[in-house]
Amino acid sequence: MAVLVLGGTRSGKSEHAEQLVSGAESVRYLATGPAHDDDAWRARVQAHRERRSETFETVETADPAAELRADPTATVLLDDLGTWITGVLDATGAWTDPAVSIADRVDDLCAAVADHVGPLVIVSPEVGLSVVAETAAGRRFADELGALNKQIARVCDDVRLVVAGRVVDLPADESVRPVASPVVVAAPEHRAVAFAGADVPDGTDAEIFVAIDPPDTATAHAARARHLTLTKPPGSLSVLEDLGIWASACQGLCPPRRIEAAAVAVFAGDHGVARDGVSAFPPEVTAQMVANIAGGGAAVNVLARRVGASVHAFDLSVDADLPDGHTANTAYKVRRGSGDLRRGEALTIGEARRAVAAGRAIADGLVDSGADLLIAGDMGIGNTTPAAVLIGTLTDQEPVVVVGRGTGIDDETWIRKTAAIRDGMRHGRRYRNEPLALLAAVGGADLAAMAGFYAQAAVRKTPVILDGVVTTAAALVAEQMAPGASTWWRAGHRSTEPAHDFALKNLGLTPIVDMSMRLGEGTGALTALSMVSSAVDILIDMATFDEAGVSDGD
Ligand SMILES: Cc1cc2ncn([C@H]3O[C@H](COP(=O)(O)O)[C@@H](O)[C@H]3O)c2cc1C
Ligand SMILES: O=C(O)c1cccnc1
């Protein structure tokens, strides 16, 4: 993983580059600067030195390619290519002789960068933005450096431009999007997050999302490198290593912060289809269970308490008038009960927009109150039926393949449920590529809100653990609305509901645990949360080979 950081004089490029490697245990700092012998230059070098921490090993070199090859797994900061190319032009006499080529040296450096295994951050000046230089040497420098930057960029995973201390990502495509540089935030004291609330939105443009940036790749690389320094054979913690790397990348911090304020939003809603017997339980159980969750007595509450997560229940479309506060937050309620998906009439488009906007506002409210990881849970009798319809439609599976036993239905109910899924899929098919219309036709306000919640979590760069079949059905739709949002998610578990596995495979996610659970509410995600927290603790707390005086392998 290599990152190229470009910028003009005093733009803040070196500071940004140093920040990118600041989480590493040790950094090889390849200083390419020439040994100028004047006070001003010495002061400049000294300022650079003072900024660098004692974890930096400084190597002054005119041949960074050789230094990279000498230690291919090291975390390296190479600063900078401008002074390196100056040295090469000096040594070859190419300044004034156009016949002299430095292409071999440039190719050699590019090859060394491409072959480097460890995290590598390269700083280079961006010149030539102003008038063409007056001298042949000036023109040669700008030309060579411009060509070098272009060539190095091709072998880097990430290219950034620093202007006036601001960092912009330079994506491979045309659209330049801003990136937030990783910022170190002090660990919050242990607490369960309170829901601060966000304005109840009117739904305008609810389904329009900005382009989603994935978790920070440079930090992922730093976390991968840190794992290699910890007292264990490389890769021996397997999935726990992957989860830690992912959490680190989501936070833009290596080592990451402990997960201390995970929040579960339970989305409650009834479904018209449930009135005709597709569940083992009657629809009134939805409102009763919402009260149970709000009272702290449901499975989700017990598991959340164990792992220090907070639980917040939201009534999106329960078919009862719940008293606010005592049961659930009703501020985002869209309607009493979603309509009949068998007729493609779960919601109007306007209601679907309001529900997506509600989910987004709920994610915003939790993140703004300090949540550091989000989980969506579900509560709604009959909701495995719309979940199966959405998953069957979006993964192109037959109704009989995606239908599940839900709360434990008998064979007669299974036949009714399969017929309902078939009818729903007939309506859903035409909205295969229109996520909002699909949610409106065969989803429901609870599922639409979950979709908005998941996509907004990615907008807010907040990691998510997915739960079971109902929430994952909404996640499939969210990925369609905001492509790339799934890079911010991990699958908590695999439910026994057959549709769940199709959805996870479609999203390319592997469940953390597989414990044959089939409840929903957020329980699968909470079971997995302790694994994610352990993965983060490993990166924070384990001793390195150096610290523990343990000999490492070859
Ligand atoms: C007491 C109780 C607690 C629950 N907690 C989650 N669910 C889960 O089961 C229901 C979905 O299954 P189906 O589609 O078969 O109705 C939803 O309420 C879901 O949240 C529960 C269901 C019940 C009965
Ligand atoms: O997988 C789930 O989330 C699930 C399974 C059965 C009933 N409710 C939810």
The residue whose CA is least distant from atom 5 of ligand 2 is 518
Q: From 252, 251, 262, 255, select the one nearest 241 (Cα to Cα).
A: 255
- Ligand 2 mean position, distance from CA 477 (Å): 18
Sign of the C-alpha dihedral, residues 106, 107, 109, 113?
Answer: positive
β-strands 2-7, 27-31 pairing: unpaired
406 lines ligand 1 (CB under 6 A): yes
| Best residue for ligand 1 mutational test, from 407, 417, 467, 517 (most atoms within 8 Å of Cβ) | 407
Ligand nearest to the CA of 517: 2
- Ligand 1 mean position, distance from CA 141 (Å): 69
Final residue before a domain boundary, out of 147, 170, 193 = 170
Same domain (yes/no): 166, 279: no
- Taking residue 478's Cβ as centre, other Cβ atoms within 10 Å add up to 32
Same domain (yes/no): 279, 163: no
Dist CA 515 CA 330 (whole Å): 33
The tokens for 536 are: 């983060």
The tokens for 30 are: 């390849």
pLDDT given for residue 96 in this prediction: 82
CB 315, CB 288: distance < 8 Å? no
The residue whose CA is least distant from atom 4 of ligand 1 is 519
The residue whose CA is least distant from atom 9 of ligand 1 is 407
β-strands 120-125, 310-317 pairing: unpaired
Same domain (yes/no): 293, 392: yes
Dist CA 316 CA 1 (whole Å): 44
Q: Is residue 446 part of a domain?
A: yes
Evaluate if pTM is beyond 0.80: no
pLDDT given for residue 186 in this prediction: 28
Place of tokens 């907070």: 310
Q: From 33, 17, 133, 15, select the one nearest 81 (Cα to Cα).
A: 33
- Taking residue 503's Cβ as centre, other Cβ atoms within 10 Å add up to 31
How many angstroms separate the Cα of 114 from the Cα of each of 64, 147, 254, 357, 534?
13, 17, 23, 44, 33
* Residue list, ligand 2 pocket, CB within 6 Å: 384, 406-407, 467-470, 495, 497, 500, 518-520
Same domain (yes/no): 350, 479: yes
Dist CA 477 CA 39 (whole Å): 62
Ligand nearest to the CA of 444: 1
The residue whose CA is least distant from atom 3 of ligand 1 is 289
Same domain (yes/no): 20, 159: yes
Final residue before a domain boundary, out of 170, 193, 219 = 170
- What DSSP assignment string belongs to 80-126? -HHHHHHHHHHHHTTTT-TT---HHHHHHHHHHHHH--S-EEEEEE-
Dist CA 220 CA 153 (whole Å): 19
Final residue before a domain boundary, out of 170, 201, 218 = 170
407 lines ligand 1 (CB under 6 A): yes
- Taking residue 44's Cβ as centre, other Cβ atoms within 10 Å add up to 14
**425 exposure class (CB count in 10 Å sphere: 0-12, 13-18, 19+):** buried
521 lines ligand 1 (CB under 6 A): yes
Q: Is residue 347 part of a domain?
A: yes
Same domain (yes/no): 16, 130: yes
Place of tokens 């002789």: 97
- Ligand 2 mean position, distance from CA 199 (Å): 30
Q: From 338, 349, 345, 432, select the one nearest 380 (Cα to Cα).
A: 338
The tokens for 259 are: 């997960």
**Is the ipTM above a cut-off of 0.95?**
yes
Sign of the C-alpha dihedral, residues 53, 542, 535, 266?
Answer: negative
Q: Is residue 218 part of a domain?
A: no
- Ligand 1 mean position, distance from CA 378 (Å): 8
| Best residue for ligand 2 mutational test, from 409, 470, 514, 526 (most atoms within 8 Å of Cβ) | 470
The residue whose CA is least distant from atom 10 of ligand 1 is 381
Dist CA 283 CA 268 (whole Å): 12
Residues of the chain with pLDDT under 70: 23, 34-35, 173-191, 325
- Whichever domain contains 92, its CATH number is 3.40.50.300
Q: Is residue 216 part of a domain?
A: no
pLDDT given for residue 458 in this prediction: 98
| Best residue for ligand 1 mutational test, from 264, 266, 267, 281 (most atoms within 8 Å of Cβ) | 281
**Which strands form 262-269's sheet, in the order they lie side by side?**
310-317, 262-269, 373-379, 464-466, 489-491
Ligand nearest to the CA of 292: 1
pLDDT given for residue 175 in this prediction: 39
- Ligand 2 mean position, distance from CA 339 (Å): 21
Q: Is residue 248 part of a domain?
A: no
Dist CA 217 CA 3 (whole Å): 9
Instruction: Identify the helix (H) or strand (E) that includes residue 532.
Output: helix 523-541
Domain that holds residue 271: 261-528
Q: Is residue 348 part of a domain?
A: yes
Write the pLDDT tens digit of every residue in 66-122: 999 888 888 899 999 999 999 999 889 888 888 888 988 998 898 888 877 778 899
Same domain (yes/no): 146, 288: no
Domain total of the chain: 2
The residue whose CA is least distant from atom 21 of ligand 1 is 519
Same domain (yes/no): 379, 521: yes
- Ligand 1 mean position, distance from CA 432 (Å): 27
Dist CA 121 CA 13 (whole Å): 11
Strand residue runs (E) in 152-261: 158-163, 166-169
Kindly give the residue spans of alpha helices, DSSP state H, lying in 308-434.
349-368, 384-395, 399-402, 411-428
Write the pLDDT tens digit of every residue in 211-224: 999 999 999 999 99
- Whichever domain contains 480, its CATH number is 3.40.50.10210
**26 exposure class (CB count in 10 Å sphere: 0-12, 13-18, 19+):** middle
- Ligand 1 mean position, distance from CA 415 (Å): 19
pLDDT given for residue 191 in this prediction: 53
219 lines ligand 1 (CB under 6 A): no
The tokens for 535 are: 């993965």
The tokens for 165 are: 């201390």
Q: Is residue 213 part of a domain?
A: no
| Best residue for ligand 1 mutational test, from 273, 279, 381, 418 (most atoms within 8 Å of Cβ) | 381
- Ligand 2 mean position, distance from CA 495 (Å): 7
Q: Is residue 219 part of a domain?
A: no
pLDDT given for residue 51 in this prediction: 73
The residues assigned a catalytic role are: 521
